[in-house]
Structure 1
Amino acid sequence: MQARRTGGGRVEICARLGVPLLLSLGFASAAFAGGEAQRVDAAGTADGERPAANGERPAAEPSPENPGGNATAGSGPAGGEAEPLREDAAAASAEEGLPEPADDEGYQTTVRAAAPGDDTRGRAASRVGRRQIAERIPRSTPDALAYEPGVFVQQTAAGQASAFVRGRTGQQTVLLFDGIRLNNALWRQGPNQYFFTLDLATIEAIDVVRGSASVRHGSDAIGGAINALPLEAPLWSDLHDLRAWPRNVLRVSSQDDQLAERFQLDAQWDRFGLIAGAGWRTVGLLESGGAVVGSDGRLPWVPRFEEEDCTPQQAPDDPDRCRTQRGTGFDELTFDARAAYDLGRDRRVVAALYGYRQYDAPRTDQCPPAEGRWDECLTYEEQFRTLAYASFRGLVMEGAAEDARLTVSYQRQHERRRLDRPASFSSLGGIDDVDSFGLVGSARTAPLDLGAGLRLTLRYGGEAYHDRVGSLAWTAFTDTAQVVFASRGQYLEGSSYTTGGLYLEPELELGVGVTVSAGGRFGGARATAPADEATGSAAIDRSWITPVGRLGIAWAPWRFLTWRVQADHAFRAPNLDDLTSRQQTGPGFQFENPELEPEQALTLETGLELRLDWLQADLWGYWTPVWGAMARAPRQAADCPPATAACRSARARYQLVNLPGRADVCGVEGSALAEFPFGFALRVTLAWAWGEGPNPAPAPDDPDVPYEARLPLSRIPPLHGTVELRWRAEWGLYAGAALRWAAAQDRLALQDLSDPRIPYGGTPGYAVLDLSAGWRWRRNLLVGLVLENVTDAAWRTHGSSVNGPGLGASLRLEIGL
C-alpha cells in the first residue's frame, strides 16, 4: 500500500543528493569564470539579452489585428507573459544559457518566438513564458497555468492535475505539445494524469486559447486549446565550430520533501543544433495548511490525514492539525532530445524524442476510497508517455505556402495500476496502452493586396490521428499467489479510433480598421471495438462527420483599442472512454454507453483589447450553448453490466448520456498588466463562469417527489482571480508578491453531491499569498526562492482530492555555461 510514503520510493534521495550538489558547485565555479568573458556585443546588446539569430528583431507592421505594431497581437495582456515583448526577448536569452555569438554574414535563422504565435491570432488567449515558469517555481505543467485568466487547475492527486478552460476540461479541451495532439481515444472526462506527463523543464512557453477552437484543432475543442511549446535547439547564424553549453537545475520544496534535478546540454555545429536533457524527481507526502471542512463542520471523505483525530465525516476539534495528506507522493524520471538542421531560407527540419516516467503515484481519492477500509489504495504504478516526431518548418512556396509545418508523430501512453485490498487478500491490476500515429500540416499565404485597401490572407491545414488500444485486467490473490485474468480490461483490447479533418481560415483586412475572419472545417471520427460476450460488451463500429465553422469581426477605431465579436462552432465526438470504459471515477463507478452522439457547441463572444505603452488589458464575455452535452446519469445496481462486481458494490453508479435539450455555459474574464517606473509591474486577472443543463436523471412518477428540470453543470469553477506585483532591477534582482483567490462554489451538479472530493455544501473559498525573490546573473546563474502560502491557509480548488500546500518554501538553483 502506498498511502504512507515519506518520499524516495524508487529514486532514493540519500543516494542522489550528493550528485546535484557536486554538479551545481562545479558548474558554479565554471559559470562565474566563463561569465566574465561575455561582454556587450558590437551592436550594443546588454548582458542577458538575446537577439534574433541575425542580430536584430524585425518589427511587425501595424494592422487592425495589431494596431500597436508589436508581435503580441491577438493575445491577452502580454499574452499572459507578464512582461512585454522587449523583456521576453531578454528572458529567453537568460533562460537558454547560450552566449551571444559575434556578428557574421552567414545564414540566418530565427531561434525563438517570444510572443503568442499565429495559432492565437484574434482570439482570447494568453501565454505563460519561460521567465514566469522559472520565477514562480510551479510544481507541474498544469500548475504553471494557475495565473492565467479563465483557467482553473483541479487536482485529483499530487501527481495528477487537470486544467479547466472556461469551465470545461478533459474531453472538452484540446491539449497539444508543439502542435501535436495529446488527446487520444481514452481521454477521460477528467484527464488528470495526462498534461502532468509533460516535463515542465522542456517547455519554453504555454499558449492558452479560450473559447471554441474546433475549426483549427478538431474534436474536443469546446472550452479551448492549450499548446505547450518546447525549448528549441540552438541555431545561431554566426556559429560554425562545435560549441556546447551544459546546464544544471536543482529544485527543492519543503511541503512535500520534493527534490528534483535536471541536466541539460545545448550544442551547435554549423547548421546543426541539439538540445538534450534528463531529469529525476522524488516527492513525499504533501503537507497542507490544515483540513478543508464542509458547511456542516465535518471533514470530507478525502483526503485522509496521518494525524490523529482527523476522522472523515467527523468534526475535528482543531482542523489545522490535519495537515499531512495520505495518498500523495510519487517518483519521476524524464528524458528528451531535440535536433534541428537549418536548410537555409528560413527553413529547418526537426527530430525530437520526449519521455516521461512516473512511478507509484496513488490516486488520493482512492487511497483509501470513500467509505473504504483504511488499508485499501489505488496506485498508478506506471504512468508513461513517449513522444517521437519529425517535422519540417518554413517556406515551401513564396506567397502560397509560408510558415509551413508538416509533422509526423508517434506517441505511446502507458498506464499500469494496482488496487490493493488486503482484507480480501487480493489486488486488482490493469494495464491500458494507447499507440497514436499522427500527421499534421499547416501553412498560410502571404497577404494578397486586392486593391482599395483590402488585404486577404489564407491559413489552411489538416491533421489525421489513428489510435490503437490495448487493455488488460486481472485479480491477484496474495494468499495463494494466483492470478486470474478478466475477459476484458478497463477498455476493450483491439479497439481503434481515428479522427482528423481539413480546415481553411480566410482573413480579410478592409483597410478602415476592420478585419473580418472566418473559418471552416470538414472532418470526422470513427470508433471501432470488438465485442466481449462474457461481460456483455457490445461491438462498436461508428462514424461521425462533423463540419464546423467560425466567423469574427475586429474593429480598431484607434491604434490602441480593438473590439472583437465572433461566433465559433465546436464539436466533440464520443471517444472510446465514453463508448467502452468501465472504471472507478471520482463520483462513483461509470460504465459504457455505446449509443452516445457527438456534442455540438456554439461559442458567442465579444472582447475589448487595450494596448498602451504602460497598460495592456482585455475583457471578454461569452455564452456557449451545448446541444447533446454528455453528463453522468445515476444508475441502480440492477443496471450494471454482467460480470462487473465493482459496479454493483460501488457507493454510486453512473452512465454517460446525452442530455436532452440545451446546456449553457457563460461567463466573463479579464486581465490587465500595468507597468510603472523603477521596474514595478502589476498584473490582475478575473474569471467567472456559470453552467446549467437538463437534469440527467428522469423525472419521478410521483409528482410530490422534489425534482428540478435543470441543474448546475459539474465542477464549474467559482469566481476566481489573481493579483501579482513584481519588481525587477536591471542588474538581475527581482521580487514579487502573488495572490490567488477563489470564492466558494456551492452550485453543485447531481454527481457532485455524491463526489467525496467535494465537501458537504460545496468547496469553501480561499486566498493564498506567495512571496518570491531571486537573482539572475547574466545567463549563468539563477537563484530563485518562493515562500508559498505565507498565511498557512487551508485551501482546496473545487473538485480536487488534494488540499493545497501549506506554508513552505521552494528553491530553484540554475547554473549553466
Structure 2
Amino acid sequence: MKKSIPFVLASLFGAEEVEAQSTRPDTLRAISLSEVVVSANRVQERKADIPQQIDVLPAAQIRLQNPMNTADALQNTGQVFVQKSQFGGGSPVIRGFEANKILLVIDGVRMNNAIYRAGHLQNILTTDANAVDRIEVLSGAGSVIYGTDALGGVISILTKNPRLADSTTATQPRVGMSSFVRYGTAAKEKTAHTDLSLGWRKFGSLTSITASDFDDLRKGRRDYKSFPGFGENLRYVERQDGKDVVVPNDNVNIQRESGYRQLGVLQKFLYRPSATQQHTLNVQYSTTSNVPRYDRLQEYRNGNLRFAEWNYGPEKRFFASYQFQYSRPTAFFDMVRFTPAVQKVNESRLSRAFGNVNRDENLEEVKIGSVNLDLFKQIGRHELRYGAEATRNKVESVGRRVNIDNGATIGIATRYPTGSTYATTGVYASHNWEITPQLILSDGLRFSTVKLKANFNPEFFKSSLLNSDQKSSSLNGNLGLVWMLPVGFRVSGLVSTGFRNPNLDDVSKTFEQNNGTLIVPNPDLKPEQIFYREAEVSQTIEGKLHVAVTGFYSTLTDAIVVRPYTAPDGSTTTVYNGQPFTTVANTNANKARVYGFSGRFNAALLNHWSTQASVTYTKGRVLTTDVPLDHIPPVYGRGAITYQNRKLTAEASMLFNGRKGLADYSPSGEDNLGQNTPVGALGWQTFNLRTTYQITRSWSVQSGLENILDQSYRPFASGINAAGRNFYLTVRFER
C-alpha cells in the first residue's frame, strides 16, 4: 500500500508521464496488480488495495473500439449494460440500477443534478469519448465517498490533460496533435475530431473538438425466425403542404426520424509553478440538435401513429471547474485538492400529436454550483483520505404551447416547479490500514444532508400538492478487507451502505404517463437506502493472466416506486392543463433485493496474442409485493481475442445478451415491455472485427465491421433496434 504515495505524486506533478503510460495499447501491461485507479477514494491508489470491483476503460481501448459516443464505449466493454429509447441515447445499468441511481462524475465533479429521472437517462452522451483519458466504473454502493445517488455504482470519467515540456530548460513548447475523420455505414455517420496540446515548462493548454452527424439508423436485415419483421419501420410522419401525412417507408430497415447531430468542446489550461502545486482550469461544452424520441414516434393509438413530433430539444451542457492541488507534508495532510465548479444544463421535450398544429414545449434549465475539498495523509501503515462536498441546484422550468402555423404561444403547466432549489452537503473520511503487506483493511464514514424547496404555480395545476419543502440527512459507512495470498491469489470482501435522496424529479414532477394517469408531486418521500455486500476471488500472474469472480447482494429499503396516490384532501384525481386525470405518485413502497455475480478473464498468449472475456448475471425482486424489480438486465457479456504487433492491432469480439421472459419483467412499465416482442426480450449476439494499422509515425488507419451477421435485435428495455452491419473507416493523424 505504501506504493500509492509515488502514484499520488505522479498524478499531481507528472501528469504527462502517467498519461503516456495509460494510453499505450500494450495488452501485457494491462494485466497487473499495480494498476492505478482514482474512483474509489478520489485519489490515486493501487487497484489491488481496494475491496470493491472497479473496471477501467483507458484511452487506448476507447481508441481501438472507435465508439460513436461514450455510452457505446461502455457497452463495448461487455461489463456495463446500456439501454436506449432512441438512437441519440444511452442509459448505463450497473448492479441492476440505472439512471438517477447511478452517479456520473466528470473530473471529480458530480454530473447528477436535481432533475435526473428514475427511468432512462442519456446524459452520459454529453461527454465526448474522444476527449477521455480513462473511464473507471466503480460497481456497487459508493455513497461514503460520493454521497447521494451512488446506489448501483459510480462512473468516473477523467478527461485528457495538457502535457508539459519534458525538460525544465526547454524554450520551445511541446506540441501534440491528434485528428481523425470517421465514416460509418449503419447511420451514414460523419465524425471529425481534433485536439491540440501545447506545453511549456510550467504552462500547458489542451483544446479538443468533436463534431458528429448521424443519419437515421439502419437495423439489421437478419430477423429472428420466430418474429420476422420485428422492429421494421413501416411508416412515419412528414409535414407536407402544412399537413401531417403518413408516409410508407421505402426501406423498412431504416428507422426513420432517428438521426441527430452533436458537438463537444473541451479546453484545459494547466499551470504548475513549482513541484508542490498545480492549477487547472477545465471548461467543457456539449450540444446536440433535436434528438428524436424514436419509441414515441413509433407509438400507435387506435391503429394510427400518435405523434407527428416528439423530440428531446437540444441538450446543452456547460461545465467549468478550477482545481488547485498542493502537496507538501504537514500535520494535517500530505496532499490537498480544492475544486469549485459551475454547470449549466439545458434540456427540453417537444411533442405534437398527429394532425394537431399545437406543439407542447417543456424547457428546463439547471444551474449547479459545487465545491469539493479532498485531503490525503499517510501515517505509518495508515492512509487517511477525508474531505467535504457542497452542491446547490436551481431549476427554471417553462411550459408553452406553440402554434406551428402562426407562431402563437400560450403558457401551459411546467414539468417542474420553476425557481426550485436542491442542495446537498457532506463530509467524509476513509481509512486504509496495511496490517501486513498481505492484509489491508478499509473503512469509511460519511454524513450527508439534503434540502429541497419547490413551489408549483397554481394557475395550471389544480391540486393541494403545490409546495414541497424537504430536509433529510444520512450517515453511511463501509468496511472492507483485502487478503493477498501466495502466487497471485487475492480474496476481498466489502459491506457498505448507501442512499439516494429524492430529487426534484421524484418529489415535484408532473408527467402524463402512456396509460393516461398523471404523476403528481409527493412531498412525503424519504431517501432510498441500500445495504451492499460484495466478495471477490481472483488470481493474477503479472503480465500474463488475470481471472476474477465477484458476487454481490444488495438490500434496498424505502425504494421509490410509482403507485396510485390519494392527496391529503382525499382526492384521487386532479386537473392538469385543463383535463382531469387519475393521480399516481412516487412513494416509498418497497423493499427489494438485487444479487448476482460477474466474472472477468484476461490472458496474454504467445506471439502478440491476448484474450479477454466477461459475463454479468443479475437478479432483482421486490420483496414487498413479490414481483420482479425493474432495470434488471438479462445475462450479458463479451469475449474477444486481440493481436498486436508494432504496426497492426486487430480484435475479433462477440457481444451477447441472454433472453428475458415475461415472468421476469417488472409490472412498473419501466422496462418497456410494449416495445419488445410478445414473449419479452430475445437473446442476441453480435460478432465484430476491428483493426488499427500504423502507416507511418503520424498516420494510421482504422477499420471495423460491427454486427457482421447483420442480426436484427433490440436490447432489453430499449425502444429502438440496434445497428445492423456497420462498416466504419477512420483516418488518424497524430504527432
**Does the alignment reach a TM-score above 0.5?**
yes
TM superposition shift of 1:802? 1.6
Contact 1:247–1:265 (CA under 8 A) maintained in structure 2: yes
Shift of the 578–744 alpha-carbon distance from structure 1 to 2, 3 Å rule, reads: same
Amino acid at match of 1:419: S
Gapped runs of 5+ residues in structure 1? 1-59, 72-85, 96-112, 309-318, 450-454, 696-708
Contact 2:84–2:718 (CA under 8 A) maintained in structure 1: yes
Shift of the 645–254 alpha-carbon distance from structure 1 to 2, 3 Å rule, reads: farther
Contact 2:634–2:657 (CA under 8 A) maintained in structure 1: yes
1:499 has 2:424 as partner: yes
TM superposition shift of 1:399? 6.8
Aligned partner (choices 480, 489, 504) of residue 552 of structure 1: 480
Contact 1:491–1:581 (CA under 8 A) maintained in structure 2: yes
Alignment-derived partner of residue 289 in structure 1? 220
TM superposition shift of 1:380? 1.9
1:213 has 2:142 as partner: yes
1:510 has 2:435 as partner: yes
Structure 1, residues 211-237: CA drift from partner, whole Å, max 9, x if none? 110001000111000001000011234
**Counterparts in 2 of 1:418-817, with a 5 A limit?**
418-446=350-378, 448-449=379-380, 455-486=381-412, 488-511=413-436, 513-534=438-459, 535=461, 536=463, 537-558=465-486, 560-583=488-511, 590-613=519-542, 614-633=544-563, 639-644=572-577, 648=581, 654-660=584-590, 662-694=591-623, 709-729=625-645, 731-746=646-661, 747-752=664-669, 755-776=673-694, 780-817=698-735
C-alpha separation in 2, matches of 1:565 and 1:157: 38
C-alpha separation in 1, matches of 2:651 and 2:448: 47
C-alpha separation in 2, matches of 1:182 and 1:656: 23
Contact 2:165–2:200 (CA under 8 A) maintained in structure 1: no
Contact 1:369–1:376 (CA under 8 A) maintained in structure 2: no
Contact 1:291–1:320 (CA under 8 A) maintained in structure 2: no
Higher relative contact order (CA 8 A, sep 6+): 1
C-alpha separation in 1, matches of 2:598 and 2:701: 34
Contact 1:515–1:555 (CA under 8 A) maintained in structure 2: yes
Alignment-derived partner of residue 196 in structure 2? 265
TM superposition shift of 1:242? 2.9
Structure 1, residues 567-595: CA drift from partner, whole Å, max 9, x if none? 01000100000011123568876433222
**Counterparts in 2 of 1:211-290, with a 5 A limit?**
211-238=140-167, 239-290=170-221
C-alpha separation in 1, matches of 2:473 and 2:497: 14
Amino acid at match of 1:123: Q
Alignment-derived partner of residue 349 in structure 1? 279
C-alpha separation in 1, matches of 2:58 and 2:114: 30
Name the SS for the 1:678 alignment partner. Answer: coil
Name the SS for the 1:195 alignment partner. Answer: helix
Shift of the 754–654 alpha-carbon distance from structure 1 to 2, 3 Å rule, reads: farther
C-alpha separation in 2, matches of 1:724 and 1:734: 13
C-alpha separation in 1, matches of 2:510 and 2:606: 58
Gapped runs of 5+ residues in structure 2? 9-16, 27-33, 41-46, 238-248
Amino acid at match of 2:653: A
Contact 2:452–2:469 (CA under 8 A) maintained in structure 1: yes
Shift of the 217–559 alpha-carbon distance from structure 1 to 2, 3 Å rule, reads: farther
Name the SS for the 1:547 alignment partner. Answer: strand
Contact 1:568–1:604 (CA under 8 A) maintained in structure 2: yes
| TM-score after normalising by structure 1 | 0.79
1:116 has 2:44 as partner: no
C-alpha separation in 2, matches of 1:587 and 1:763: 21
Amino acid at match of 1:796: R
TM superposition shift of 1:147? 4.0
Alignment-derived partner of residue 338 in structure 2? 406
TM superposition shift of 1:481? 3.5
Identity %: 22
TM superposition shift of 1:546? 0.5
1:359 has 2:285 as partner: no
C-alpha separation in 2, matches of 1:597 and 1:290: 48
C-alpha separation in 2, matches of 1:644 and 1:292: 43
Contact 1:177–1:227 (CA under 8 A) maintained in structure 2: yes
TM superposition shift of 1:490? 0.7
Contact 2:417–2:508 (CA under 8 A) maintained in structure 1: yes
Name the SS for the 2:522 alignment partner. Answer: coil
Structure 1, residues 497-547: CA drift from partner, whole Å, max 9, x if none? 001201011111111622111100011111100132230242111111101
Shift of the 404–160 alpha-carbon distance from structure 1 to 2, 3 Å rule, reads: same
Amino acid at match of 1:204: D
Contact 1:587–1:751 (CA under 8 A) maintained in structure 2: no
TM superposition shift of 1:123? 1.8
Alignment-derived partner of residue 378 in structure 1? 310
TM superposition shift of 1:284? 0.5
| TM-score after normalising by structure 2 | 0.87
Shift of the 590–779 alpha-carbon distance from structure 1 to 2, 3 Å rule, reads: farther
Shift of the 188–779 alpha-carbon distance from structure 1 to 2, 3 Å rule, reads: farther
C-alpha separation in 1, matches of 2:549 and 2:579: 47
TM superposition shift of 1:634? 5.5
Shift of the 732–674 alpha-carbon distance from structure 1 to 2, 3 Å rule, reads: same
Alignment-derived partner of residue 416 in structure 1? 348
C-alpha separation in 2, matches of 1:147 and 1:353: 28
Contact 1:370–1:756 (CA under 8 A) maintained in structure 2: no
Contact 2:56–2:134 (CA under 8 A) maintained in structure 1: yes
Contact 1:659–1:694 (CA under 8 A) maintained in structure 2: no
TM superposition shift of 1:761? 2.4
1:339 has 2:278 as partner: no
Contact 2:222–2:711 (CA under 8 A) maintained in structure 1: no
Structure 1, residues 163-207: CA drift from partner, whole Å, max 9, x if none? 001110111110010111000000011352211111111111100
C-alpha separation in 1, matches of 2:306 and 2:447: 52
